[in-house]
Amino acid sequence: MEGDRVAGASVLTQARSHLHELFISGRFVVTSELQTTDGADPQEVHDAAAPLVGKVDAVNATDNSAAHPHISQLAAAKLMIDAGIEPIVQFGCRDRNRLALQSDMLGAAALGARNIVCMTGDDVSAGDHPEAKPLYDVDSMHALRIARIMRDEGTYLSGRKLSSPPTFLIGAVENPFAPPFDFRPARLEKKIEAGAEFIQTQCVFNVERMREFMKRSVDLGCAERAWILAGVYVPRSARAVNYLREVPGIEVSDEVIARMEAVPSERQEDEGVRIAVDICQQLREMPGVAGIHLMSIKGDHAILRVVEELGLLPRPEIDEPAAAV
Amino acid sequence: MAKTLDRRPPQTAPDPRGPRKALLLIEKSMKEKVYDCRMCGQCILHSTGMSCPQRCPKNLRNGPCGGVRLDGNCEVVPDMKCVWVEAWEGSRKLPLWRSHMFHVNRPVDWRLQGTSSWENLLTRRDHEAPDGWKAIESRVRAS
């Protein structure tokens, strides 16, 4: 089965997660991100999760996104599970060395998380603690492979045995919109070789560049070896897209800016939803795209409108908690 | 060459003596000048188009992050060209080792910081890896 490409370790008889089950079934998948929260009250996470229950298939618990501290992604993931959402737990390499990565991956699995996604992470210089010491002990490829060692070899990186290995599905991210463009599909392939089984991409605004990236990734065989979710940002204001344009690694097309600026501010969210829906419809037709990963800033309502307008509701229910062998 | 950010950890290995020291000084004087080498002691320059990956502010050993600017410059140091953009371009020009850009490089052994990678190559010290890594590497190779 596709879930076990590094041959051998265990024969997979069941999907590793609800997300995995949907991937295997070939259905068009929708994932999103939990709005970050900054409080000690668990109710805040529950409130952030509530609008997404049953509307998307899995939701990222982000790891200090944009290099700003927020509630721990492990705690958020656990609270999401309690709220009825399947989390995808992010692991960045900025705030954790190889010891902390492993203990937290194990902890995430023990708390019931069945999907993780590994990434480098924004640099501390992009956040509100630029004076911090970033770690970058290992990179995202190493984190993927470490997760794979724990799951498939049943040991820590050191070789020391785990008493019960995690069974999670392992994902990575890729940005088709940052140089060197020619290397990006090969880098995707490299992430798959390092252990990634699914991919979430950076936000697609430049559909043509995405098409070229997907074409070359499909030619390399990536789409047969991993499920690729295209990232889509749902803009809610012209200000937001103009801000996004300044973020390194995000390419916002002039057309999107023009469309957002052409309407008065009270109708900009409607226009943003239309833009996101347009992009999603093109992505749906693109060979190799297994689904979409919707992002927004404080825009759950806008995300839900996109899911609805795409005709992707209702989402398949999470039945029994999926257990992998 | 822009030398704008240096995040390398302090050296923990004891200073070498005699011929080992001579080897270290020769390597250091050459590579620091030519490649802005950061003396990680486990050189993979030939795999990275002769662009030293330890100059990357995120210490990436396996390719660029997602934050590379549209002009090809670094997310963290905006006036420096991304070392991985240089690596990709450089690797396409090399007569050998071009495919090494597609290999998964091992995590850094930080104990080797400040030591001679030439010595570590000769003694095969740079071939050491944690047991878990070796296990999955041989499995991936076999498949």
**DSSP conformation letters of chain B:** -------PPPP-SPPP-HHHHHHHHHHHHHHHHHH-----SS--GGGGTT--GGGSTT--SSS--TT--TTSB-SSSTTSB-HHHHHHHHHHH-SS-GGGGGS-PPPP-GGGTTS-HHHHHHTTGGG---HHHHHHHHHHHH-
Give me the torsion for CA of B29, B31, B35, B40, rounded to 10°: -110
A91-143 pLDDT, tens digit each:
999 999 999 999 999 999 999 999 999 999 999 999 999 999 999 999 999 99
Contact A141, A87 (CB under 8 A): no
Q: A6: which chain B residues are within 8 Å (Cβ-Cβ)? A: 136, 139-140, 143
Q: Tokens in use for A61?
A: 């618990």
Q: Which of A59, A84, A29 is nearest to A316 (CA)?
A: A29
Q: B133: which chain A residues are within 8 Å (Cβ-Cβ)? A: 145, 149, 157
A159-204 pLDDT, tens digit each:
999 999 999 999 999 999 999 999 999 999 999 999 999 999 999 9
Rounded to an integer, what distance in angstroms lies between the CA atom of residue B87 and that of residue B83?
A: 6
Confidence class of residue A324 from pLDDT cuts 50, 70 and 90? very low
Q: Is B131 in Cβ contact with A159 (below 8 Å)?
A: yes
3-class state of residue A232 by DSSP: strand
Q: Is A174 in Cβ contact with B104 (below 8 Å)?
A: no
Rounded to an integer, what distance in angstroms lies between the CA atom of residue A247 and that of residue A264?
A: 24
A248-302 pLDDT, tens digit each:
999 999 999 999 999 999 999 999 999 999 999 999 999 999 999 999 998 999 9
Rounded to an integer, what distance in angstroms lies between the CA atom of residue A8 and that of residue A135?
A: 33
Q: Say if residue A317's pLDDT is above 50.
A: yes
Distances (CA, A) of A276 to A21, B24, B93: 26, 56, 40
Q: Tokens in use for A230?
A: 């295209």
To the nearest 10 degrees (0 to 180), the angle between helices A98-110 and A140-148 is: 50
Tell whether A149 is within 8 A of chain B (Cβ). Answer: yes
Q: Which of B111, B44, B63, B80 is nearest to A183 (CA)?
A: B63
Q: Is B64 in Cβ contact with A141 (below 8 Å)?
A: no
Strand partners, A31: A58, A293
Confidence class of residue A325 from pLDDT cuts 50, 70 and 90? very low
Q: What pLDDT does B143 receive? A: 80
Confidence class of residue A12 from pLDDT cuts 50, 70 and 90? low
3-class state of residue A116 by DSSP: strand
Q: Which of A74, A100, A102, A101 is nearest to A88 (CA)?
A: A74
Rounded to an integer, what distance in angstroms lies between the CA atom of residue B90 and that of residue A216?
A: 21
Rounded to an integer, what distance in angstroms lies between the CA atom of residue B51 and that of residue B67?
A: 18
B16-49 pLDDT, tens digit each:
999 999 999 999 999 999 999 999 999 999 999 9
Q: What pLDDT does A224 receive? A: 97
Residue with tokens 């609805």: A308
Q: What pLDDT does A295 receive? A: 97
State the burial class of residue A272 (Cβ atoms within 10 Å of its Cβ: 0-12, 13-18, 19+). Answer: buried
Q: Which of A301, A154, A283 is nearest to A228 (CA)?
A: A283
To the nearest 10 degrees (0 to 180), the angle between helices A73-83 and A42-49 is: 60
Rounded to an integer, what distance in angstroms lies between the CA atom of residue B24 and that of residue B116?
A: 5
Kindly give, in sequence order, each residue whose CB lies less than 8 Å from that of residue A102, ignoring residues fewer than 6 positions away. Answer: A146, A150, A156, A157
Given a cut of 50, the residues of chain B with pLDDT beneath it are 1
Q: Tokens in use for A254?
A: 């002039």
Q: Which of A82, A91, A141, A136 is nearest to A115 (CA)?
A: A91
Q: B58: which chain A residues are within 8 Å (Cβ-Cβ)? A: 93-94, 120, 123, 134, 136, 139
**pTM of the predicted model as reported, rounded to 2 decimal places:** 0.95
Instruction: Count how many residues are written for chain A.
Output: 325
Rounded to an integer, what distance in angstroms lies between the CA atom of residue A294 and that of residue A227?
A: 16
Which of B65, B76, B107 comes nearest A142 by C-beta? Answer: B107
d(CA A194, nearest CA chain B) in Å = 7
Contact B136, A158 (CB under 8 A): no
Q: Say if residue A206's pLDDT is above 90.
A: yes
Q: Which of A147, A198, A104, A165 is nearest to B136 (CA)?
A: A147
Distances (CA, A) of A166 to A237, A323, B19: 41, 11, 48
Kindly give, in sequence order, each residue whose CB lies less than 8 Å from that of residue A278, ignoring residues fewer than 6 positions away. Answer: none
Q: A185: which chain B residues are within 8 Å (Cβ-Cβ)? A: none
Contact A115, A322 (CB under 8 A): no
Q: A148: which chain B residues are within 8 Å (Cβ-Cβ)? A: 136
Write the DSSP symbol of residue A152.
Answer: I
State the burial class of residue A107 (Cβ atoms within 10 Å of its Cβ: 0-12, 13-18, 19+). Answer: middle
Q: A123: which chain B residues are within 8 Å (Cβ-Cβ)? A: 57-58, 67, 75-76
Pick the residue of A124, A136, A295 with the most B CBs within 10 A to test the interface with B by mutation. A136
Residue with tokens 């997404």: A52
Confidence class of residue A21 from pLDDT cuts 50, 70 and 90? very high
Q: What is the ipTM of this complex?
A: 0.96
Contact A105, A116 (CB under 8 A): yes
Tell whether B79 is within 8 A of chain A (Cβ). Answer: no
Mean pLDDT of A35-60: 97
